[in-house]
Amino acid sequence: MGGIAVLIIALLWFFYLWDDSLYNRWSKLRSEVISREDVLSRMVRLRARYTRLQQETGLVTSRLAAAGAATSLKGFLEKLIKEQAPTVDVRRMKSREENIQDLYRQTFLTVHLEKVTIPELLDILAAMESSSEGLKVERLEIKLSRKVADKLDVDFTVVSARRI
């Protein structure tokens, strides 16, 4: 009986209590595997983000390298808004241009929309960001409409750059 108790204590010490026991080795290995999985998943996310940013950079660079487009930014944006949300009222479109080192002309277009629903706003913003015109929304201000219940008034500024 005493030999079995000594054997059990020795096995417990060997498997659990000893600093270099099998359980401690397994725990360290498990935490290392979890840590490496986290690093790997971060790398995968960063690689996808890098690829997306490379595509966006390529799109902007190719658009900037092209000569001026046939349609104006106002016309393009007005057409896009009417395609995505025909019921929206476009109240105001104010543009301002700025030259960048005499190479590119940056156009800021501030747009005021009324009677916009949330899905329509999302459709408009998604269409702008994914258009081949290289538009980016710089500022977005959303207010509840005073005229129509359950609708929004939206002010946003769109930035576009073109070669001079």
9 and 29 inside one domain? yes
Q: What is this structure's pTM?
A: 0.53
Structure-block tokens of residue 150? 């359950």
- Please indicate, yes or no, if residue 55 is contained in any of the structural domains: yes
Regarding whether 59 and 85 lie in a shared domain, the answer is: no
Q: What's the domain count of the chain? A: 2
Give pLDDT, residue 40.
95
Residues 138 and 84 in one domain: yes
Residues 26 and 51 in one domain: yes
State pLDDT tens for residues 76-121. 888 888 988 888 888 888 888 888 777 778 888 899 998 898 999 9
Decide which of 23, 39, 63 is a domain's last residue: 63
Do residues 41 and 103 both lie within one domain?
Answer: no
Per the structure block, which two tokens stand in for 75?
A: 């016309």
68 domain-assigned: no
Q: Evaluate whether residue 139 is within a structural domain.
A: yes
Please write down the HEC assignment for all residues of 56-103: HHHHHHHHHHCCCCCCCHHHHHHHHHHHHCCCCEEEEEEEEEEEECCC
Find the domain containing 95 and state its range: 73-163
Quick: pLDDT tens for 134-149.
788 889 999 998 888 8
Query: Which CATH number fits the domain that encloses residue 133?
Result: 3.30.70.60
SS3 label, residue 127: helix
36 CB-near residues (< 8 Å, 6+ apart): none
* Contact assessment for residue 124 and residue 84, using Cβ atoms and an 8 Å cutoff: yes
Please check whether residues 149 and 115 belong to one and the same domain: yes
